[in-house]
Amino acid sequence: MIAYIDKIVETVGPIGWEAIKLLIGLVGVLVVVVVNALVLTWAERKVSGHMQRRIGPKEVGPYGLLQPIADTLKLIAKELLTPQNVERPLYFLAPVIIFIPVMVSFVVIPFDSFLQVKDINVGILVILAFSSLSVLSILLAGWGSNNKYSLIGSVRSVAQNIAYEIPLLLSLLTVVLMANSLSLRDIVESQKGLWYVLSQPIAFLVFFVAGVAETNRTPFDLPEAESELVAGFHTEYSGMRFALFFLAEYTNMFIICAITTTFFLGGYQGPILPGFVWFFGKTYLLVFVILWFRWTFPRVRFDQLLNLSWKLLIPVSLLNLIVTGGILKL
């Protein structure tokens, strides 16, 4: 096998081999994204059912496991309807753009010591930079749909993301200071003795709350509040265009939980079991907490949403950063 790989490297050269590895990694990422979205849609419906003393999906396959596949086939088979007065370039571009940060984020996340598509020394900057494209996509969808509900939802999303990206970034900076690196793998390796959730509990709580708000999940789901805005920014989308928004939402939820695991819960660190088992176990535990939030907390008002960030999370995370920097300087 090694001799075969060496022969390929000799044929295509080092740069060509790196390109091949990256392409294989991207295909793997695409498979993980799709499978993860199918698992999360099933899990959310099952968790919701049990919390409401229902069974949840049970007809399609054992325990309803094939229900997400049936839903996917239904969306693929649906006709792609385009409303008459939409801004066509913006309307068609939005579902494509929202999928780009999802793919890029998966590339730099270390699922195990040997399972990472590309270890970039500024990995967290790449994730934060590309995650802002999600907001742009939502704004394009709302503006391009030529629908008042879509526009209100997209404007809410922009205001929400601006407010919550600040405490999210400040809470990550405390961990970066302690690990002295922007590489996600270095941050995981620096937690061998002690997870940062124990030394930085405030940063952990701030990041997780801000992450829930960034993914537009309950109780911060104001951009797509069904009781007020029909479906929010994707009201006018159907078929596979809607499916791309749906896929991006669940994948973003997984990515926020994966980053929380990487920065605060030791990533793939753990005894006995393989690293990737620990990583996915911790990540899906956090996903369960987010699903739990949906059936526990009511939706907040928009003024409460912004006040929570500007008046509480930002001052607390900034103070925590200053104190952490001062202690490390001593």
Residues 66 and 101 placed together within one structural domain of the fold: no
Q: Into how many domains does the chain fold?
A: 2
Closest-CA residue to 73 (of 240, 245, 248, 250): 240
Using only C-alpha atoms, the chain has a radius of gyration, in whole angstroms, of 21
Residues 94 and 232 placed together within one structural domain of the fold: yes
More confident residue, 8 or 61: 61
Q: Which of 47, 77, 107 is where one domain is finished? A: 77
Q: What is the pTM of this model?
A: 0.87
91 near 145, Cβ under 8 Å? yes
Residues 189 and 47 placed together within one structural domain of the fold: no
Residues 262 and 241 placed together within one structural domain of the fold: yes
Q: Which of 77, 98, 130 is where one domain is finished? A: 77
- Round to whole Å and give the CA distance between 240 and 186: 38
The answer on pLDDT for 190 being more than 60 is yes
pLDDT digits (tens, 9 = 90+) for 118-169: 778 887 888 888 877 778 888 888 888 888 888 888 888 888 888 888 899 9
Q: Which of 35, 53, 77 is where one domain is finished? A: 77
Residues 256 and 306 placed together within one structural domain of the fold: yes
Q: Which domain holds residue 163?
A: 86-329
The answer on pLDDT for 269 being more than 80 is yes
The answer on pLDDT for 17 being more than 80 is no
CA 11, 15, 21, 27 torsion-angle sign:
negative
Confidence label for 12 from pLDDT (cuts 50, 70 and 90): low
Residues 304 and 188 placed together within one structural domain of the fold: yes
Residues 176 and 219 placed together within one structural domain of the fold: yes
Distances from the Cα of 37 to the Cαs of 50, 254, 306, in angstroms? Answer: 20, 9, 29
Cβ partners under 8 Å of residue 140, min gap 6: 90, 91, 93, 94, 97, 154
208 near 286, Cβ under 8 Å? yes
The answer on pLDDT for 207 being more than 60 is yes
